[in-house]
Amino acid sequence: MISKDEFRNAVIAGIKAVKSADAANIGDDEEFSNAGLDSLDSMNLVLEVESITGLNFGEFNLSDANTINEFYAKAQQLSNKA
Amino acid sequence: MIGIKAIGSFVAPNTVSNHARRGQAGKDEGFIRDKIGFEALAKRDPGQETSDMCVAAFEDLKDTPGFDPAMVDCLVVCTQNPDAHGLPHTSAIVHGKLGLGPDVASFDISLGCSGYVYGLAMMTAFMAANGLRSGLLFTADPYSKIIDPQDWDTELLFGDAATVTWLGEDPVYACRPAIFGTDGSMGHSIAVAERGGTLRMLGSNVFKFSMTAVPEQVRRYLAREGLGDDDIDLFLFHQGSRFIVDNLTRKLGLPPEKVPFEAGQVGNTVSSSLPLMLKQRLQAPPPRVLMSGFGVGLSWATMVLEAG
């Protein structure tokens, strides 16, 4: 199972890729909109995180998990099912 | 060889501004302009049927030098929003409205955004196999028939347009063999659940599909055809949104100047989005054009056109 630190790093890298930014700062409980992501960017973020982690979130919509903590919880569910 | 000789089009004349209602939709100006990319949508007149839009596209084509309606021997309509409930088939209705003779093969094909590539592949093969010489491929899928105006996930996206492509010998563009894909297990991602119902679209599913299956198919197709990116002068992708076209461009590592987004004042016109763009190039055709359509089904198809 992916660790929280690894997952957080993947999300941060994903946000940087989506926003074409050199840096991205967001707390584990902050909503992704605080990092400048809109609903379309969020779709892209899921793909970036899938690419980095190798996880497949299937039909998951990030609007249902709006923070790193919630997103990681989804990743844990996937790992537990696998 | 049978290929594309000319294209006629009809873009519905009524315009709905997405900026004017972005407050209602909870979107800002940048999201409308730079993300979905559709600043305005073309909307048909109430009561204007799918066949009427086909006839209007035909009006734009009929004066093409060398075209003779009396010589048409094949007529296909690509739509999933036919006249009435699709019985009789819209192609027969169009045939009647155009006053064509009896020796014409007419049928509909039920496909969405992949429909133009499918239609070209089907018609060129069908015409060649049956000795037909002058075909009309219509695309007309007025989603205004099925949109829930309160559903901003779809209401801001779709416009109404129709096209007709004249197919015959001595074409402007010949069609290379195409490549096709289907994932019926994800069909619920763009669907109308019951007759008379409205469209429901799971945007995250559609985006994921567009960023995975489509670039994979394009790469596989180019390899199969022995072509590199530099061999293609223009990449025409279905105009699902600016966000999808821009991200496909990045994903494939293509030069943005070779990948136009031209639907900003029209909207996503489903199977008409590719021929609307291609029409603009027929006077000075780029030597080699790749087209890829993808959407409802889920279905996706890619083809290269070769000029003269």
Residues of chain B in Cβ contact (below 8 Å) with chain A: 31, 35-36, 202-205, 207-208, 211-212, 243, 247
Interface predicted TM-score (ipTM): 0.87
Q: What is the pLDDT of residues B239-276, one digit of tens each?
A: 999 999 999 999 999 999 999 999 999 999 999 999 99
B-chain residues near A40 (CB < 8 A): 31, 35-36, 203, 207, 243
CATH architecture observed for domain A4-81: Orthogonal Bundle (1.10)
Each domain of chain B, given as residue ranges in start order, spans 3-171, 175-307
The model's confidence at residue A22, banded by pLDDT at 50, 70 and 90, is: confident
Q: What is the pLDDT of residues B147-188, one digit of tens each?
A: 999 999 999 999 999 999 999 999 999 999 999 999 999 999
d(CA B43, CA B20): 15
Q: What is the pLDDT of residues B28-62, one digit of tens each?
A: 999 999 999 999 999 999 899 999 999 999 999 99
Mean of the per-residue pLDDT values of chain B? 97
Nearest-CA distance from B205 to chain A in Å? 6
Contact call for A61 and B204, based on CB within 8 A: yes
Contact call for A61 and B202, based on CB within 8 A: yes
Mean of the per-residue pLDDT values of chain A? 90
pLDDT at B97: 98
Give which of A36, A32, A34 is closest to A46, Cα–Cα.
Answer: A32
Give which of A40, A48, A42 is closest to A70, Cα–Cα.
Answer: A42
Give which of B139, B134, B4 is closest to B74, Cα–Cα.
Answer: B134
pTM given for the model: 0.94
The residue of chain B with its CA nearest to that of A56 is: B208
CB pairs under 8 A between A and B: 30
The residue of chain A with its CA nearest to that of B28 is: A38
- Torsion from C-alpha of B214, B107, B280, B257, nearest 10 degrees: 0
Contact call for B207 and A60, based on CB within 8 A: no
The model's confidence at residue A77, banded by pLDDT at 50, 70 and 90, is: confident
Residue type, B77: V
Contact call for B31 and A38, based on CB within 8 A: yes
The residue whose two tokens read 């499918």 is B118
pLDDT at A82: 61
Each domain of chain A, given as residue ranges in start order, spans 4-81
Class of domain B175-307: alpha beta
CB B199 within 8 A of CB B187: no
SS3 content of chain B, % helix, strand, coil (to 5): 40, 25, 35
Mean pLDDT of the B185-208 span: 94
Does A44 score more than 70 pLDDT?
yes
For A18, B74, B132, B137, B280, the CA distances from B117, given in Å and listed in that order, are 31, 17, 19, 11, 17
B3-171 maps to CATH 3.40.50.300: no
